[in-house]
Amino acid sequence: MASMDVPAGGKPAAAEKTRARTVDAPRLTWLTLALMTTASVASLRAAPTMAVYGLACVFLYLLPAVVFLLPTALVSAELASGWNGGVYRWVSEGLSKPLGFLAVWCQFAMTIFYYPSLLAFVASTISYVIDPSLASNGVYTAIVIMVLYWTGVWVSSRGTKALAGLSSWGLVIGTLVPGTILVVLGMVFLAQGNPSAAPMTASHLLPQWTGLASLVLIVNNFLSYSGMEMNAVHVSSLKDPAKEYPKSMFLAMGLVLLIFILPALAISWVVPADQTSLTAGVMQAFHAFFSYFHIGWMTPIAAVMLISASLAGMLTWLAGPSKGLLEISRSEGYLPPFLQRLNRHGVQQNILVTQGVVTTAIALMYALIPGVSNVYWIFSTITTQVYLIVYLLMFVAAVRLRRNQPDHPRGYRVPALTLVCTVGWLASAAALVIGFVPPSQFGGNSVGAYVAIVGGGLVLLGLIIPGAFLKFRKPSWRTEGGDAS
């Protein structure tokens, strides 16, 4: 998952202080920043989603990388090098405080659907240790989601600081090692003369056009690529940001594409598209390869690696987005006092518990809606839709800030900013619209039900709830000094 900013509602720093921070900041090499960015973005979880397209997944990963990943990385670098405080500060300065709240709210709200989809992946992976047939069992998936999420809430509410370093280990244990094993086994499998389950000829480089539904899976890649704005805060730590940051981002983009594309291809070589589970596809491929090479005993080991990385990621970031929302709300009064209350460990437990109630309700839908893969896709789409609102606001804010505050100190300036922001904004808007089209894997299920669930989730989470907080907030809701404009 994308790592979240921790916004702060402070006033703009003086130019001298900005320059001082830039000078005094500990230096990073462009290579180190590229690896940090790769660690925060890359994951194996999305591989099965693209594996169903076979060789065409290369195109479906490259397109959003060019029109979304790169604009996001460059624009967030300029904003982070000029204004601290994350996306709330950027949008508040460029547009307005209410829209800044909307942006940071959407960063938080997307996790409401993100964690169920993440834990559905964990549930399907655990099933390969217990009984692979459980991977398609909705009741089992719902139970695992609820147990793991509430366990995570309990751990996070204890204020455990030891979790901070888990994300870096997650990249190695749950992404690089199993991803490399998967790709190497796949190459050996093909080298021994075995046919690929998906055609690997040049005529299959582009996805077959059967209407909008044939391209819908590309929407999920926008969420896979999100999170570039987190590492943009380190741009001022580079020796020569104008030259080194673009170089760092191009290398990170190449590494991320390799981590996304090669495992997806490996899955397509051994698991037919019509049999690929969007939640258990990675383990399907491992199981098939390990069985072929007569090392089936490694299947549980691979499962444990994937599980540990996913749980580490969940625990590391469970309290992050809600903490950012809490800090803004305490200074600006966006949330009622009940949701601002802290427990004795200084953790926003009431927000986590409220989120947990909603997550539990969502988990039950896995038990009620037929087809775990369908539910997984719907929730992944809603997650993407809500998060895209953040980027739509960010691109507009960047253009406004360049126009209204051209002399504000920036450690990095995007060449042709308006063009880059326009490309990123149009790509985000197109992804948001396409997300309402059911994928071809949705089968003969009701299109109306799909649109209603996705649209309802987007409107409720992305508009109605934050609008209600803004409409009904009171001056008494501010618990720290702030300008409630």
Give the chain's radius of gyration (CA, Å).
Answer: 22
Token output for 18: 């900005």
pLDDT band at 226 (very low <50, low <70, confident <90, very high): confident
Phi, psi of 238 (to 5 degrees): -80, 150
Global pTM reads 0.75
What does the pLDDT average to over 418-446?
A: 81
Among residues 146, 154, 158, 278, the alpha carbon closest in space to that of 220 is found at 278
pLDDT for 371 equals 63
Cβ neighbors of 161 (< 8 A, separation 6 or more) are none
Give tens-digit pLDDT for 322-336: 777 787 887 788 888
Nearest to residue 441, comparing CAs of 394, 388, 390, 372?
372
Q: pLDDT at position 347, please?
A: 73
The reported pLDDT for the residue numbered 2 is 40
Q: Give the ranges where 293-434 is alpha helix by DSSP (H).
A: 298-317, 320-332, 337-340, 349-368, 372-404, 417-434
CA 308 to chain centre: 18
Q: What is the mean pLDDT of residues 6-27?
A: 42
Please name the residues in contact with 74: beta carbons below 8 A apart, sequence gap of 6 or more: 245, 246, 249, 414, 420
CA atoms within 13 A on the CB side of 295: 9
Mean pLDDT, residues 420-427 taken together: 94
Alpha-carbon span 294 to 289, nearest angstrom:
8
pLDDT tens by residue, 470-481: 888 888 887 765
Q: Are 466 and 102 in contact (CB under 8 A)?
A: yes
For 443-458, what is each residue's pLDDT tens digit? 556 778 778 888 888 8
Q: At 450, list the tokens.
A: 């799909």
In DSSP terms, which residues pair with 28 in a beta bridge?
Answer: 238
Q: CA 180 to CA 161: how far, in whole Å?
A: 31
Residue 238's beta-bridge partner residues?
28
Name the amino acid, one letter, at 307: I
pLDDT at 387 over 50: yes
> Would you say residue 378 has pLDDT above 90?
no
356: nearest Cα among 81, 98, 152, 143:
152
Distance CA 181, CA 93 (A): 46
Give the model's confidence band at 11: pLDDT under 50 very low, under 70 low, under 90 confident, else very high: very low
- Tell me whether residue 443 is exposed, middle or buried, using C-beta atoms within 10 angstroms of its C-beta: 0 to 12, 13 to 18, 19 or more: exposed
Report the distance separating Cα 180 and Cα 115, nearest Å.
26
Q: Please check the confidence at residue 369 and state whether its pLDDT lies above 80.
A: no
Centroid of chain to Cα 72: 13
Among 58, 40, 29, CA closest to 1: 40
More confident residue, 465 or 2: 465
> Looking at the predicted structure, is the pLDDT value of residue 23 above 50?
no
pLDDT at 96 over 80: yes
pLDDT tens-digit readout, 346-365: 777 788 888 888 888 877 87
pLDDT at residue 186 greater than cutoff 70:
yes
pLDDT of residue 396: 96
| CB 268, CB 52: distance < 8 Å | yes
